[in-house]
Amino acid sequence: MEWSILFMGPVGAGKTEAIRSLSDIDVVDTDVAATDETAFLKEKTTVSMDVGVLNLGDGDKLRLYGAPGQGRFDFMWEILVEHAKGLVIMLNHANPDPLKDMAFYVGRLKEMLAGRSLPVVVGVTHSDERPDRSIYMYAEYINNNPVTFATGKVPVFRVDARQRHDASALMAALAAMLEMNERLASVPHVAA
């Protein structure tokens, strides 16, 4: 099996870094020097996409795609979402209003998916920078605002995107959901 996984989220949430920590190949990226307000957050930013591959064994692999976080590059989001079999929403816990970021990406994904449903996980980075905020606020948000395009429950993970074992937890959850969807799809439907 081969599945395309899309990482989305705001600038500085760790999408590129997570893909770098997971990929078994050199990541192809489109990072350029940041020249707008993004330059206050980081030196480089993704303008098209990041691409990596995570080999799962037995020929199975996840193709990892990172979407640019800046809204001006949102034309890439639709192209990347079209081929995605699973989604990772990355959020920077230290941003001024990370729940607003989450609401924005959930809303845009709902529009772009137009009735499709996919496995979704949420990765929360920079939680060490805001220990006064509970990581559970994201799960509470999801409980109060269901992610209608998600298949099943949406797990939330605290992630250091630089650490392969942290990012691997996101992929393990997504791979399990993808495999379950494949198995359920192959079971014949029996009318009651």
- Number of other residues whose CB lies within 10 A of the CB of residue 185: 8
Residue 177 in tokens: 């959901």
The predicted model scores a pTM of 0.85
Residue 190 in any domain: the answer is no
Instruction: Note whether residue 192 is domain-resident.
Output: no
Q: Which two tokens stand for residue 10?
A: 């705001």
Q: Tell me, what amino acid is at 155?
A: P
Give domain status of residue 40, yes or no. Answer: yes
Q: Which domain holds residue 179?
A: 2-184
> Number of structural domains, the chain?
1
Per-residue pLDDT tens for 18-64?
A: 999 999 888 876 655 545 554 445 455 554 578 888 988 888 889 99
Residue 81, domain member (yes or no): yes
pLDDT in tens, 101-158: 999 999 999 999 988 999 999 999 999 999 999 999 999 999 999 999 999 899 999 9
Q: What is the pLDDT of residue 51?
A: 85
Measured CA to CA, the distance from residue 40 to residue 111 in angstroms comes to 30
Query: Can you give the CATH number for the domain in which 98 is found?
Result: 3.40.50.300
- Sheet of 50-57, strand order: 50-57, 60-66, 2-8, 86-92, 120-125, 156-158
Q: Is residue 103 part of a domain?
A: yes
Percent of the chain as helix, strand, coil, to the nearest 5:
40, 25, 35
Residue 79 lies in a domain: yes
189 is a domain residue: no
Domain contains 90: yes
